[in-house]
Structure 1
Amino acid sequence: MAKVSSVDLGTKPISKLLIKQAVPASIGILVMSLNILVDTIFVGNWIGSTAIAAINVVLPVSFFIAALGMSIGVGGSSIISRALGADQKEKALKTFGNQITLTLLFTVVLVVFGLLYVDDIIPAFGGKGAIFEPAKIYYVIVLYGVPFLALCMMGNTVIRAEGKPKFAMYAMMIPSVGNLILDYVFINLLDLGMYGAAWATTGSYILCFVFIVWFFFSKNAELKLRFPHLGLSKRIVSEIGSLGFVTLSRQAVVSITYLFMNNILYDLGGETSVTAYAIVGRMLMFALFPVFGITQGFLPIAGYNYGAGAYSRVRETINTAIKYAVILATAIFVLLMAFPDVITRMFTQDAEVLKETPSAMRWVFAATPIIAIQLIGAAYFQAIGKAIPALLLTLTRQGFFFIPLILILPKFYGELGVWMSFPIADVLATLVTAYFLNREIKAHLTNQPIKE
Structure 2
Amino acid sequence: MARLISHGLGTEPIGKLLVKQAVPASIGILVMSLNILVDTVFVGNWIGSTAIAAINVVLPVSFFIAALGMAIGVGGSSIISRALGAENKEKARTTFGNQITLTTLFTVTMVILGLWFVDSIVPTFGGKGNILEPAKTYYVIVLYGVPFLGLCMMGNTVIRAVGKPKVAMYAMMLPSVSNLLLDYIFIYVLDYGMAGAAWASTLSYLVCFIFILGFFISKQSEIELAKCHFGLNKATVVEIASLGVVTLSRQAIVSVTYLLMNNILYTLGGESSVTAYAIVGRMLMFALFPVFGVAQGFLPIAGFNYGAEKYARVKETIYTAIKYAALLATIVFVFLMVFPETITRLFTSDAQVILETPAAMRWVFAATPIIALQLIGAAYFQAIGKAKQALWLTLSRQGLFFIPLIFILPVFLGELGVWIAFPIADVLATLVTGYFLYKEIIKNLNPELKSVN
For normalisation by structure 1, the TM-score amounts to: 0.98
Q: Percent identity?
A: 76
For 1:146, the equivalent position in structure 2 comes to 146
- Give, in angstroms, the shift of residue 220 of structure 1: 1.7
Any idea what the Cα deviations from partners look like across 1:403-429, whole Å, max 9, x if unmatched? 000011111100000000000000000
Structure 1 counterpart of 2:172 = 172
Q: Say if 2:3 and 2:222, in contact at 8 Å, map to a contact too.
A: no
Aligned to 2:276: 276
- Given the alignment of the two structures, is residue 439 of structure 1 paired with residue 439 of structure 2, yes or no? yes
Aligned residues: 448
| d(CA) in 1 for partners of 2:264, 2:371 | 25
Give the CA deviation at 1:10.
Answer: 0.2
Q: Does 1:267 align with 2:267?
A: yes
Give yes or no for contact 2:266–2:274 (8 Å, CA) kept in 1. Answer: yes
Residue 223 of structure 1 corresponds to which residue in structure 2? 223
The match for 2:64 is 64
For residue 382 of structure 1, what is the amino acid of its counterpart? Q
CA distance in 2, matches of 1:358, 1:119: 34
1:372 paired with 2:372, answer yes
- 1:264-343 equivalences under 5 Å are 264-343=264-343
Counterparts of 1:123-272 in structure 2 under 5 Å? Answer: 123-272=123-272
Question: 2:426 matched to 1:423?
Answer: no
Q: Deviations over 1:189-236 (max 9, x none)?
A: 000000100000000000000000000011421111111100000000
Q: Is the contact between residue 4 and residue 164 of structure 1 (CA under 8 Å) also seen in structure 2?
A: no
Aligned to 2:106: 106
AA paired with 1:295? Answer: A
* Change beyond 3 A, Cα 1:4–1:297: farther
- Indicate conservation of the 8 Å contact 2:402/2:425, yes or no: yes
Helix, strand or coil at the partner of 1:388: helix
User: Match of 1:48?
Assistant: 48
Structure 1, 2-11 or 348-357: larger mean CA deviation? 2-11
TM-score, normalised relative to structure 2? 0.98
* Separation in structure 2 between the aligned mates of residue 23 and residue 337 of structure 1, nearest angstrom: 25
Alpha-carbon distance between aligned partners in 2 of 1:34 and 1:235, rounded to the nearest angstrom: 39
Structure-2 separation of matches of 1:18 and 1:444: 22
Aligned-partner SS, 1:221: coil
* Native 8 Å contact 2:265 2:273 kept in 1: yes
Matched, 1:117 2:122: no
Which amino acid in structure 1 is aligned with residue 265 of structure 2? L
Corresponding letter in the other structure for 1:110: M
Kept after mapping to 2: 8 A contact 1:71/1:244: yes
Per-residue deviation, 1:447 = 2.7
Contact 1:65–1:150, Cα closer than 8 Å, also in 2 = yes
Which amino acid counterpart does residue 228 of structure 1 have in structure 2? C
Find runs of 4+ consecutive structure 1 residues off by over 3 angstroms.
Answer: none
Is the partner of 1:127 in helix, strand or coil?
coil
State the partner residue of 2:89: 89
Tell me, what secondary structure is at the counterpart of 2:447? coil
Query: After superposition, what is the alpha-carbon deviation per residue over 1:12-40, rounded to whole angstroms, capped at 9, x for unaligned?
Result: 00000000000000000000000000000
Q: Given the superposition, is the C-alpha separation of residues 49 and 4 from structure 1 closer, same or farther in structure 2, using an over 3 Å criterion?
A: farther
Q: What is the alpha-carbon distance in structure 1 between the residues aligned to residue 182 and residue 136 of structure 2?
A: 20
Give the AA of the match of 1:53.
Answer: A
Partner-residue secondary structure (3-state), 1:409: helix
* CA distance 1:148–1:448, change in 2 (3 Å): farther
Q: In the alignment, which residue of structure 2 is the partner of 1:361?
A: 361
Q: Which amino acid is 1:132 matched to?
A: L
2-side partners of 1:156 and 1:446: how far apart? Answer: 33
The structural deviation recorded for 1:448 is 5.5
CA distance in structure 2 between the partners assigned to 1:3 and 1:39 by the alignment: 39
Which residue matches 2:33? 33
Rounded to whole Å, the distance in 2 between the matches of 1:11 and 1:395 is: 33
Letter in 1 for 2:327: I
Any idea what the Cα deviations from partners look like across 1:368-388, whole Å, max 9, x if unmatched? 000010000000000000000
> Would the aligned equivalents of 2:4 and 2:222 in 1 still touch at CA under 8 Å?
no
Query: Whole-Å Cα distance in 2 between the matches of residues 391 and 3 of structure 1?
Result: 34
Question: Which residue type is aligned with residue 372 of structure 1?
Answer: A
SS in 1 for 2:270: helix
Structure 1 Cα separation of the partners of residues 448 and 104 of structure 2? 41
Are the aligned partners of 2:160 and 2:300 in contact in 1 as well (CA < 8 Å)? Answer: yes
Query: What do the CA deviations read for 1:70-102 (whole angstroms, capped 9, x no partner)?
Result: 000000000000000000000000000000000
Superposed CA offset, 1:254-303 (max 9, x none): 00000100000000011000000000000000000000000000000000
CA distance in 2, matches of 1:22, 1:4: 20
Cα RMSD over matched residues?
1.0
2:191 aligned counterpart, secondary structure: coil
CA deviation after TM superposition for structure 1 residue 4, in Å: 7.0
Deviation string, structure 1 residues 356-378 (Cα, Å, up to 9, x no partner): 00000000000000001000000
Counterpart CA distance in 2 for 1:72 and 1:169 is 19
Give the AA of the match of 2:202: T
Secondary structure, in 3 states, of the residue corresponding to 1:87? coil
Q: Distance in 2 between matches of 1:436 and 1:428?
A: 13
CA distance in 2, matches of 1:230, 1:20: 31
The structural deviation recorded for 1:252 is: 0.5
In 1: Cα distance, 2:38 partner to 2:24 partner:
20
Please tell me whether the aligned partners of residues 311 and 448 of structure 1 are also in contact (alpha carbons under 8 angstroms): no
Q: Retained in 2: the 8 A contact 1:53–1:274?
A: yes
